[in-house]
Amino acid sequence: MFKLWRRRADDPVAAPRRRNPDSVVDCAVYRSGGRKPGTVHFGQAHRRRGEFLWLGLHEPDLGTMRAVAHTFGLHDLVVEQTVEDGHRPAVETIGEVTRLVLRTARYVEHEELTATSEVVDTGDVTVLIGPWFVITVRHGAAGALWRVRQEAEKRPELVRSGPWGVAYAVANRMVDDYLEVAAEVERDLERLEEETFATRRSADIAHFYQLKREMVELKRAVLPLSEPLARLLDLTVLPPGLRPYFVDVRGRLARATDRVAGFDDLLNSILQARLTQVTLEQNNDMRMIAAWAAIAAIPTVGAGIYGMNFANMPGIDSRYGFSVTIVIIVLVCSGLFWRFKRAGWL
């Protein structure tokens, strides 16, 4: 049995750790491939041979992270980085602790795509992997890790791998989420494509730009992770038995990357088709306006000429002058209407 810290009654940091902060989601000790009964407080954590502790936090404040750092011997720089959100995927080693940052992604259900629809919700999760502990810190609503913990606890061989087994479980879950979100977004693109080429009114241009903005969020989560995973496989602290599992994660990440990267080309193609439709619709409107203007010009010209009230005008004294004029106007307008209709302007 190894104890990392001996606490004194007058320890100034020990007092606030007697209560469980709201940011602590779960804290448990694992031994021999299973979870020990009950939960523990991270302030009472000790290093014991054959055991490791998994502490799960959600958006902790600076005070909580300083207490955690005091218990597990974390560097001050790690504390500052962990409290903040919005980090890019990364991996780095500071002392005995490896810091792995992953972006989380969640598909937001919506009945139809609008100019303000939220399609993808993203956040981040930081995994701090130590020799006898693993700390997961999540920011945002996406990427809840309770499922990861439940699935990991059903795999004793994974739990026996220690903290790095938890790191694999988290990375595996994040990549699975990327693939699920990519599948849902692909269905949105298919619906948008159907609306674009449907006979009824097509989707508004604003819908396309909203989806493009959401795609930027998804790309920021998925695409930058390839390099950190490649660097992770080169770390000497990575257990050899877990290396094939991380290789599998990298392979599925490549699939997610290809799908997400291809969304831009597909969306741009649909957007280009919609812009072409808008141009054609505007041309059709202009032709229709021009056709009706030409038809309306006939009675306007006739009324304008005979409205000048000259004394000597053809048919002005005729009994049938008005009727003949009306008949001529109707015939000419009907001829123009037939001509424009045949040409597809009306």
Q: Is residue 4 part of a domain?
A: no
At 129-177, the pLDDT tens digits run 999 999 999 999 888 899 999 999 999 999 999 999 999 999 999 999 9
* CATH number of the domain where residue 259 is located: 3.30.460.20
- Is residue 206 domain-shared with residue 287, that is, in the same domain? no
Q: In total, how many domains does the chain have?
A: 2
Q: Which domain holds residue 316?
A: 281-343
Tell me: do 242 and 265 sit in the same domain: yes
Asked which of 254, 278, 302 is the last residue of a domain, the reply is 278
In this predicted model, what pLDDT tens digit does every residue of 176-204 receive, in sequence order?
A: 999 999 998 888 888 877 777 765 655 56
9 in any annotated domain:
no
Report yes or no on 26 lying in a domain. Answer: yes
In a domain, 1, yes or no: no
How much is the pLDDT for 198? 67
pTM (predicted TM-score)? 0.73
Other beta carbons less than 10 A from residue 234's beta carbon: 8
Question: If you average pLDDT over every residue of the chain, what do you get?
Answer: 83
Residue pLDDT, tens place only, 282-314: 788 888 888 888 888 888 887 887 777 777 777
Amino acid 2: pLDDT? 32
pLDDT of 22 reads 63
Report pLDDT digits (tens) over 85-99. Answer: 888 999 999 888 999
